[in-house]
Amino acid sequence: MSMPHEPGAELRADLAVVGGGLGGIAATLAALRQGLRVILVEELDWLGGQLTSQGVPPDEHPWIEHLSGSHSYAELRHGIRQYYRDHLPLTPAARMNLRLNPGQGNVSTLCHEPWVAVKVIDAMLAPHEADGRLVVLREHRLLAVECEGDRLQSMQLRDLREDRLRTLQAPMFIDATEIGDVLDLAGVEHVVGAESRQHTQEPHALDQADPLDQQAITWCLAADYHPGEDHTIERPGDYERLRTLQLACWPGPQLSWTLSDFVTHEPRERPLFAGPTDAESLYDLWHARRIAWRGHFEHGAYASDITLANWPQMDYWEQPVVGVTPEAQHAALQSSREFSLAFFYWMQTEAPRHDGGAGYPGLRLRGDVLGTTDGLAKQAYYREGRRIQAEFTVLEQHIGVQARPGYDAAERFADSVGIGAYRIDLHPSTRGRNTVDIDSYPFQIPLGALLPVRVDNLLPACKNIGTTRVTNGAYREHATEWSIGEAAGALAAFALCKQQPPRAVRASPALLADFQQLLQGQGVLLEWPSFGALTPTRRVGYRFA
């Protein structure tokens, strides 16, 4: 129960956004632009979700440098580059580079240190906090949701810093949590895991639905490398078992350089180093998500390059983490940490070296760039969670190249509220299934996928929209999550202004046209320029997401 006698125990706003990941940040900013008073709730001390707390540099479509889905996402990317120019000792050439890639990583044109993105996100929110229209509740955990009929009424939170309960009330709520926690606590109709082919007709759906068939999570870590030094970590307790563990569909042990090609499933060798550690661009593990390249900084500023490890050998597939008991979820998360530390220890001690011998003891964990003391990210990287049962569900037939014979573009949605582009990318599953990596067309975000089938005042803002397990593999990356959140925040504000439930906006051609015009006025693209002329998004080189 809340404690109304305690100052600050009861909080009210026009909109409550639960979850401070990219979708939650975009939703908050969109609602603030329309004049709402917003309370943003985040369980961790960092905002930014997969970009920061989970340690995953942006994995974006190939046109991102000249075609962002929205002005506000382009502003975020510009802010990250500008922070490096304003505050870090770049070389003159790097400072002048309009498309500065701080880490020169292969997976993105903007591989950067997570703590920098935290600074930029905080700065984007700061003016709204200063004028009192935004309250950010960091380190607050969602405990319960009170509903009445088809509406959410309030939420109970625990302030983890002061160990007290707080109650949050609002006429509109947004679930931007990483795995859809609000959906669960509010009893909102949702889907977990994999749907059946009979239900969705998707070529890559399973023969039978399985809620416990979920993509592997990864607990990312950051590291640098100091040859001649010894930074070997303590041997993980489960190391003996993990060093010989092998997924049945995988061509080699978990702890090895041998991978299953994401597309062909043929064996593929990817060592840590294919050449000099600080070379500009090589397709090995080290360069995949390198977030700091010494060549961009003044001599001596960085003793080593820094890389972000989010690699297949660290994919935790033994147990699911969504839709299970709290005890089972906690155990799976702890095991995921063991997976990552075991692979790191293996690299330090037993891994075949590119120059002969075994082990790279000079690898050093860098928790400082992730805001931790143990070198691991603050939070696991979740590739999927609960998804709403929506008024409209995006299927593989809407965006997948193989599933759209005779077409040269994704389905066009008249109710589009944003755009995205990413291949359909599913990692190994908790049922031992191999990867699914197939081409998709640049796509739109339909408003119907943001509308729960029953609840009137709750909107999803990230991976929890109306996709299937298959299409979630395309809609989950950074830029698309931002666009989903931006649409959700703008819709919440628009619906409150019109005194209508969000579903009425889609049902009314006049309201839908007004809402889409509002989005376009705020710099949101609703369709791809020259729709159909862009090539499908395919796997280029070797990318990890």
SS3 538: coil
Burial class of 256 by CB neighbour count within 10 A (0 to 12, 13 to 18, 19+):
buried
Residue 275: what pLDDT? 82
Residue 368: what pLDDT? 96
Please list the residues that pair with 387 across neighbouring strands.
Answer: 191
Alpha-carbon Rg for the chain in angstroms: 23
Residue 277: what pLDDT? 78
Query: Do the beta carbons of residue 214 and residue 384 sit within 8 Å?
Result: yes
51 half-sphere exposure, CB direction, 13 A CA radius: 33
According to DSSP, residue 535 is labeled P
CA dihedral 107, 112, 114, 117 (to 10 degrees): -110
Please list the residues that pair with 137 across neighbouring strands.
Answer: 41
Token pair for residue 83?
A: 């922070």
Give the type of residue at 442: P
Query: Do the beta carbons of residue 433 and residue 357 sit within 8 Å?
Result: no
Query: Do the beta carbons of residue 363 and residue 242 sit within 8 Å?
Result: no
Q: Which element (helix H / strand E) includes 156?
A: strand 151-159
Residue 4: what pLDDT? 38
d(CA 114, CA 220): 12
According to DSSP, residue 105 is labeled -
Residue 544: what pLDDT? 40
Token pair for residue 218?
A: 């990864």
172-175 and 15-18: which strand pairing?
parallel
Residue 280: what pLDDT? 78
- Rounded to the nearest 10 degrees, the angle between the axes of helix 22-33 and helix 478-498 is 30
CA dihedral 420, 42, 114, 51 (to 10 degrees): -20
Short-list 414, 422, 407, 526, CA closest to 476: 422
Residue 3: what pLDDT? 33
Residue 279: what pLDDT? 79
SS3 134: strand
Report how far apart, in Å, the C-alpha atoms of 65 and of each of 62, 101, 410 are: 8, 11, 22
Short-list 53, 69, 75, CA closest to 120: 75
Residue 281: what pLDDT? 79
According to DSSP, residue 232 is labeled P
What stretches in the chain show pLDDT beneath 50? Answer: 1-5, 532, 540-545
